[in-house]
Amino acid sequence: MPHSHITESEFSSIGWGIVGTGTIAARFAEDIKYVAGARLAGVSSRSLDRATMFCAQHGGIAYENYTALLDDKNIDAVYIASPNTSHFSIAWEAIAANKSVLVEKPLVTTAEEAERLRAFAAERKVFLMEGVWTRFLPAIEFVKGAIRSGAIGELRSIRGELAFRHAYDPDNRFFDPAQGGGSLLDLGLYLVSLSIFLLGCPDTVTGKWHPAPTGVDMMADIELSFGGVPAFLQCGFDRTGGNWFRIKGSRGSLFLPSPFIGARCVFEAGPVMARIIGILCRNSVTARIFSKLTRKIPIPGVKRHFFDFQGYGLQFEIGAATKAIKEGRIEAPFAPLSESIETIHILEKIRSFPSS
């Protein structure tokens, strides 16, 4: 079993191990360098060659499988970036090994699994968090603060879309039920999780979905109500959408332009300009054009708030998890497991409705 050498200066840092070598794992490895108190300690893959190549580029020790990674005492925390349907079993083993755990969204594929995993982590007093990186971005922190301060007045509604066209392929993870496919788990989760983060748990849930030939959801419409404030959310693999998110208030609106999941700016508009932007955002093409233009050119009646940062943006999620682990917490304040479970419950409820 390999062991990494820890220098005296590293004793206070959290040594992260990554399970998986895909795109999101590489982004995690790149962004961890921006986080004080965190370091990449190792990576595991189903192929030792892939893990070795990954470590040659990003650092850390290569492990032939995640069991070997979990056995190393120099691994303090684990980021699980493996296929969706493997999240539960790997997270369970990591918790059993007393490793702090951050799971790339979705936490797991069913609410029942989420409940079991949360109970096990609580029993073992081990940190567990779902990695919905959007929640931790500075732009989202600004939006939540603006809502709380009443900057846009009384809340009226939320609208959001997240859709990326994918050619149908029954073997692709997006369309394969065995790999946890479907637009709700892949895209709709961001919309629901962000809505819950901003407004709490909804009172009512309705919606509709359309299946791909494999039976997973190709697209879905989600309608939530938060104390009378409606949220209209759309996701899908059938098109490339405007991929924006809007919070409308009585005195104006906040817009997270495309792609909102990695927001680096927020547009704030009064009622008149907000109505115009709302009309533009109904069309995905005009929504993307408007977003690009407004980033570069000031638009009368639109206040721009920029939150640029280095890297991809996962460092804020990594930083929050690292801080919570160092504080001895078993959950992160801004990503409680109750909200992860509620999100999965909502996605399951949408899927329980007859398909269209």
Q: Which residues are catalytic?
A: 105
Q: Is the peptide bond before 230 cis (omega within 30 degrees of 0)?
A: no
Instruction: Please choose, from the candidates 325, 347, 343, 278, the residue with its C-alpha nearest in 3D space to the C-alpha of residue 98.
Output: 325
Element spanning 302, H or E:
strand 302-306
**Strand 128-131 to 100-104 pairing:** parallel
Q: Counting runs of H as helices and runs of E as strands, what totals does the chain give?
A: 12, 14
Q: What is residue 153's three-state secondary structure? A: coil
Please list, in sequence order, all residues whose beta carbon lies within 8 angstroms of the beta carbon of residue 31, skipping any fewer than 6 positions away: 311, 312, 313, 314, 315, 318
> Identity (one letter) of the amino acid at 166?
H
Residue 134 in tokens: 């959007």
Distance of CA 54 to the CA centre of its chain: 23
DSSP one-letter string for 86-103:
GHHHHHHHHHHTT-EEEE
At 156 the three-state DSSP class reads strand
